[in-house]
Amino acid sequence: MSVKEIFETMEYGPAPEASGDALAWIVDQGAQFGQFIGGRFTEPRKDFASRNPATGDVLADLSSATVDEVDAAVNAARLAQPKWEKLGGHKRARVLYAIARLIQKHSRLFAVLETLDNGKPIRESRDIDVPLVHRHFYYHAGMAQLMEAELPGRKAIGVCGQIIPWNFPLLMLAWKVAPALAMGNTVVLKPAEYTSLTALLFADICRQAGVPAGVVNIVTGDGAVGEMIVTHEGVDKIAFTGSTEVGRIIRRATAGSGKSLTLELGGKSPYIVFEDADIDSAIEGLVDAIWFNQGQVCCAGSRLLVQEGIAVRFYAKLKARMGTLRIGNPLDKGVDIGAVVDPVQHQRISELVKACDEGETYQPQMQMPSEGCFYPPTLITGLSPANPLMQEEIFGPVLVGSTFRTPAEAVAMANNTRYGLAASVWSENVNLALDIAPKLVAGVVWVNGTNMFDAAAGFGGVRESGFGREGGWEGLQAYTKPAKAAKKLAQISPYKGDKGPIDPLDRTAKLYIGGKQARPDGGYSRDVYSKSGELLGQAPIANRKDVRNAVEAAAGAASWGKTTGHLRAQILYYIAENLQARAGEFAARVNQLTGKRNGAHEVEQAVDTLFTAAAWADKFDGLAHNVPMRGMAVAVREPVGVIGAFCPDECPLGGLVGAMAPAIAMGNRVVLVASEPFPLAATDFYQVLETSDVPGGVVNILTGSHAELAKPLASHLNVDAVWSFSGADISATVEAESAGNLKRTWVNNGLTSDWTDTRAFLEAATEVKNIWVPYGE
């Protein structure tokens, strides 16, 4: 077209980013790559190809790691770890700083390579991905520097196996590698098989940055290689980002292994628009929510909820906006939507959309590239929550929409999902927006915005979107562990006996469910004897139906989570007061049960624990993160929800209170399974609860076999977390059964627990939700 003609049409024309340097880098490496193990690349093989999804062209040949190679990588990491940790925070900070600077110096090379390999628009890799990567290493260089001073009592976990997805290849690498290295861990990282190239360039950068050999190891391949890492005995921690389905498999595979685990999984994040929102801005926000990275974003605002009164106008404006999106060559600087990562994904998206038989599907008339993996922006409106597309993650540029009438209905619809990763709320009314944000079940909430990320603010989900946070102080939890070593926990069998009862009058211990004493569903009880064989009484044997009833009662007491910390503190103090009043009786009971003499001490400890929990109830504050934005990113601590806890066997009262107090102080409801050999202190304790204004359902107490109850409690889909301090060997069962709804687990793996580490209990009892509130008039 001539200048004169363009003057008339005012088209944009092509604006390609040059790819020569990135392609030259690939060629310089021989266009084939081995594994990066112990600071050098292994001999490459041509096991699979990495392709440019926009053109189908092969970019390089890659090697699929063998069992031996994964072994070698883990061994290299093992070997390097103690030295790396002992280097100290400052020396590690220097290395992370060097990585950050090198990424900045090679920023365009990384961006172009990422776009070639993944298909995302160059604008995104250049303006979003790579700057966030750089920022993440920068930020965590600081965390390494501060570790000794700010995280006393914490140490590196060891060797971290990290498996990352293809949607943000380099960014996910940064989110995994930076905090791990900062805290003194070493890593074996597997990039997704579609997108390994920037990870391999990163390996190159590591050598330049002076990362010691073996600290960062990168192995390539598909899920089979991932599985080798997950099941490898030399790995101490697995961090995975990817689908909920694979997350569940990993949860089961690592159950009982003692490996720590963090999972960042799928989502179907709601995007709520109230009638008083800045509608044009909310629509522009959707472009960043669902048409960012072709919708291949775990936290994509993929579920639009619009208030009924503005829906018609909103949809009309949205459709008009969709028409100006430009789809095509991802290397073109003027392209909004690039290529979907692989033909497999393209087919999946197409099939899901085709299968939809409800509502109205809209795709704008637009110029589509004639070849390559391109899928047009799609809006499906008029869907009911029952439609699979309102529930299932599509992972493509497809937005589904529905309407709501009231704020309460918006919250109900938003939370009507198994996921809980992110949410957006649009309203110009600060009262409304800040009322809704805490009510949304999500790890991240954006007010009048979407897809805002920063290294200083933790990212991660609740429910089946996984657990653990990446970024911020909260993210370091996942890469450190208590420095104090645990010992093996002795197993305790109940005492046997044949003597008569010690009580002059028969007493009936019951279960405590929903604020009421309840007989066990099964109608069985177990005789409990003292060490010297006297009959102390009978403990009910709870079964799965009692678990069901207790969880139902706990779920019904949800308003406990909305009470103030001050109120919860008062109640905890009141429990302490009433326990103290009966201290002598409880001390005697504990002594009877355990056959030891530290009952008085245990009661004193329990009162102390209650005071500590009461003290923290209104003090375990969130944080206002320092994110580079005019606004606030507020990390609030929210209760986890319903926590099931298998109490320790050895201290029948202290252990019960030790699990209960911090949990309810933070606003959780608990289902406590009492010490298995010594259950009768717990059944006495509910009398204290009954006289202490504890609302029904907040604390529920079961007695019975831990091994029997582990499965029904850990598999219950309305339980949000399960803790086990049990002497019984149930850690593997709890972790495996938790996979159903990916509840959080905290198990002892047969080791002793540190009951003085209050902070560990408070952390386990809360989820960090980051609420982003940009402001400005």
Partner 1 sequence: MSVTTETPPNTLPLHIEARNPGMALDMDWVRAVQANTSAIERRVKSLPGRRSVKKDYQAAWLLKAISCIDLTTLSGDDTAGRVARLCAKARRPVRDDLMQALGFEGLTVGAVCVYHEMIAPAVAALEGTNIPVAAVSTGFPAGLTPFELRLEEIRQSVAAGASEIDIVISRRQVLTGDWQALYDEMRAYREACGDAHIKTILATGELGSLRNVGRASLVCMMAGADFIKTSTGKESVNATLPVSLVMIRAIRDYYERTGFRVGNKPAGGISKAKDALVYLSLMKEELGDRWLQPDLFRFGASSLLGDIERQLEHHVTGAYSAGYRHAMG
Q: Does 777 participate in binding partner 1 (rule CB under 8 A)?
A: yes
> By C-beta, is 246 or 452 nearer to partner 1?
452
Quick one: tokens of 315? 């949809």
> By C-beta, is 320 or 485 nearer to partner 1?
320
List, edge to edge, every strand of the sheet that includes 360-362: 360-362, 378-381, 398-404, 301-307, 269-273, 422-426, 444-447, 766-774, 631-639, 623-625
Q: Does 280 participate in binding partner 1 (rule CB under 8 A)?
A: yes
Selection from 625, 629, 663 nearest residue 646 by Cα: 663
Region near partner 1 per CB under 8 A, out of 11-19, 192-200, 475-483, 560-568: 11-19
Strand residue runs (E) in 674-774: 699-702, 721-724, 744-747, 766-774
With CB under 8 A as the contact rule, the residue among 57, 150, 284, 585 that binds partner 1 is 284
Question: x/- site string to partner 1, residues 448 to 487, per CB under 8 A?
Answer: xx--------------------------------------
Question: Could you tell me which residues are beta bridge partners of residue 269?
Answer: 301
> By C-beta, is 535 or 632 nearer to partner 1?
632
Specify the 3-state DSSP secondary structure of 381: strand
Quick one: tokens of 549? 């009833």
Minimum distance from residue 422 beta carbon to partner 1 (Å): 17
Cα–Cα distance for residue pair 165/345, rounded to 1 Å: 13
| Neighbour-count burial for 97-134, b at 16+ CB within 10 Å, e otherwise | bbbbbbbbebbbbbbbbbbbbbbbbbbbbbebbbbbbb
Q: Alpha helix locations (H) across 151-243?
A: 169-182, 197-209, 223-230
H or E element at residue 590: helix 583-594
Q: Does 328 participate in binding partner 1 (rule CB under 8 A)?
A: no
Minimum distance from residue 3 beta carbon to partner 1 (Å): 5
Region near partner 1 per CB under 8 A, out of 83-91, 330-338, 661-669, 715-723: 330-338
> By C-beta, is 399 or 645 nearer to partner 1?
399
With CB under 8 A as the contact rule, the residue among 105, 139, 278, 754 that binds partner 1 is 278
Minimum distance from residue 8 beta carbon to partner 1 (Å): 9
Region near partner 1 per CB under 8 A, out of 62-70, 83-91, 237-245, 331-339: 331-339
Determine whether 717 is exposed, middle or buried from the number of CB atoms within 10 Å of its CB (0-12, 13-18, 19+).
exposed
Site for partner 1 in 87-146 (CB under 8 A): 123, 126-127
Q: Does 628 participate in binding partner 1 (rule CB under 8 A)?
A: no
Q: Residue 264 catalytic?
A: yes
Minimum distance from residue 379 beta carbon to partner 1 (Å): 18
> By C-beta, is 171 or 188 nearer to partner 1?
171
Length of the chain: 777
Q: Does 276 participate in binding partner 1 (rule CB under 8 A)?
A: yes
Question: Could you tell me which residues are beta bridge partners of residue 539?
Answer: 526
Question: x/- site string to partner 1, residues 436 to 455, per CB under 8 A?
Answer: ------------xx------
With CB under 8 A as the contact rule, the residue among 148, 150, 360, 428 that binds partner 1 is 428
> By C-beta, is 102 or 410 nearer to partner 1?
410
Minimum distance from residue 432 beta carbon to partner 1 (Å): 13
Q: Alpha helix locations (H) across 388-530?
A: 388-391, 407-414, 430-439, 472-476
Q: Does 334 participate in binding partner 1 (rule CB under 8 A)?
A: yes
Minimum distance from residue 295 beta carbon to partner 1 (Å): 17
Phi-psi region of 421 (alpha: psi -120 to 50; beta: other; left: phi over 0): alpha
Q: Confirm if 736 and 256 have CB atoms less than 8 A apart.
A: yes
Q: Confirm if 286 and 277 have CB atoms less than 8 A apart.
A: no
Q: Does 18 participate in binding partner 1 (rule CB under 8 A)?
A: no
With CB under 8 A as the contact rule, the residue among 333, 526, 596, 759 that binds partner 1 is 333
> By C-beta, is 447 or 642 nearer to partner 1?
447
Region near partner 1 per CB under 8 A, out of 281-289, 362-370, 462-470, 758-766: 281-289
Minimum distance from residue 136 beta carbon to partner 1 (Å): 20
How many Cβ atoms are within 10 Å of 757's Cβ, its own excluded? 13
Q: Does 631 participate in binding partner 1 (rule CB under 8 A)?
A: yes
Minimum distance from residue 658 beta carbon to partner 1 (Å): 45
Helix%, strand%, coil% for the chain, nearest 5: 45, 20, 40
Q: Does 776 participate in binding partner 1 (rule CB under 8 A)?
A: yes
As separate numbers, helices (DSSP H) first and strands (DSSP E) second, the chain gives: 27, 32
Cα–Cα distance for residue pair 678/529, rounded to 1 Å: 9
- Across the chain, which distance is largest between two alpha carbons, in Å? 108
Specify the 3-state DSSP secondary structure of 372: coil
Minimum distance from residue 447 beta carbon to partner 1 (Å): 10
With CB under 8 A as the contact rule, the residue among 114, 129, 336, 454 that binds partner 1 is 336
Quick one: tokens of 223? 């899920």
Q: Residue 298 catalytic?
A: yes
Residues involved in catalysis: 264, 298
Task: Using CB under 8 A, list all residues that contact partner 1.
Answer: 1-7, 9-15, 123, 126-127, 276-282, 284-285, 288, 316, 324, 333-334, 336, 428, 448-449, 630-631, 774-777
